[in-house]
Amino acid sequence: MQDPFYDPIWNALHTAHQPLALATGEACKYAQNVAPFAAVQTNTPAALDDLRSLMKPGESTWLFHDPPPSVTGLTYETSLPCLQMLFPADTALPAIDSTATILPLEATHAPEMVALTDVAFPGFFRPRTHVMGSYFGIREGNGQLVAMCGERIIATAEDGTVWREISGLCTHPDHRGHGYGTLLLRRLIEFQRGLDAVSILHVASSNTNAIALYHHLGFNTLREVTIHKVVRTD
């Protein structure tokens, strides 16, 4: 039996995130202002045409696993290999060397969250991404949001176990070196363990420094997946 993150978007939008799903036929997706991810039940032109109908002209989204077939009005743009990494339930929480105060982030903080994540990974965090899970941040003395981390994809396995993705982990370049990233990562894992959930994250396969850090902190590689970007061009 595969875990729900073998096909994370399809499973999330049919379980924990069903209230966030836009769906028709063999396709489903998050709203454009929530997250740029979609899924199809079968990797066929008919399913991709269903997906195209859910997208606005000029909108782009990402699909997991196999390259999508050609469909009129939907253009394949690029791909990105990623690792799915899991934090085992019996692994000790990462050690921390920071005493910074962690604060919850709410809907009113969305513009700050988008601005901060756009420095690290432009376009993936949207004005309503925060509705996907819980988010936490660290502010400097002047009130500026300088580091954050939260949850994105959440899916329920057939046995009822909930898998929760850690995402949006970033620190502004001017404020690195204070241990904020590890502190926030520990906070998210601790939060998810309190929910009896499985902690998982995605990282680009080319980001060797981050992968080495995650392994050092206790994460294991679950699998490599590839996401594919498509754009509605009609």
Contact of 165 with 200, CB cutoff 8 Å: yes
pTM: 0.95
- Taking the C-alpha atoms of residue 97 and residue 24, their distance in angstroms, rounded to an integer, is 48
- Taking the C-alpha atoms of residue 79 and residue 230, their distance in angstroms, rounded to an integer, is 9
Structure tokens belonging to residue 103: 């604060």
Report all structural domains of the chain as residue ranges with CATH numbers, in order of start: 4-83+228-232 (3.40.630.30), 84-222 (3.40.630.30)
Contacts with 63 (C-beta within 8 Å, 6 or more apart), sequence order: 9, 37, 38, 39, 40, 51, 227, 228, 230
- Scanning the structure block, which residue is given the tokens 């982030």? 105
- Taking the C-alpha atoms of residue 69 and residue 45, their distance in angstroms, rounded to an integer, is 6
Is the pLDDT confidence value at 67 over 80? Answer: yes
- Taking the C-alpha atoms of residue 86 and residue 84, their distance in angstroms, rounded to an integer, is 7
Mean pLDDT (the chain) is: 96
- Taking the C-alpha atoms of residue 131 and residue 113, their distance in angstroms, rounded to an integer, is 12
pLDDT given at position 86: 98
pLDDT given at position 151: 98
135-139 and 198-204 strand pairing: unpaired
Q: How far is CA 112 from CA 22, 140, 176, 188, 224, in A?
A: 26, 13, 18, 19, 31
pLDDT given at position 1: 52
135-139 and 38-40 strand pairing: unpaired
194 falls in which pLDDT band (50, 70, 90)? very high
DSSP state of 182: H
212 closest CA partner among 221, 199, 201: 221
pLDDT given at position 99: 84
170 falls in which pLDDT band (50, 70, 90)? very high
DSSP 93-134: PPP----PPPEEE-GGGHHHHHHHHHHHSTTTS-TTGGGGS-
Q: How far is CA 108 from CA 81, 144, 164, 222, 231, in A?
A: 33, 14, 23, 35, 30
- Summarised one tens digit per residue, pLDDT across range 93-150 is 998 888 899 999 999 999 999 999 999 889 899 999 999 999 999 999 899 999 999 9
Contact of 5 with 200, CB cutoff 8 Å: yes
Rounded to an integer, the average pLDDT of 180-192 is 96
- Summarised one tens digit per residue, pLDDT across range 42-63 is 999 999 999 999 999 999 999 9
- Taking the C-alpha atoms of residue 112 and residue 168, their distance in angstroms, rounded to an integer, is 12
- Summarised one tens digit per residue, pLDDT across range 75-96 is 999 999 999 999 999 999 998 8
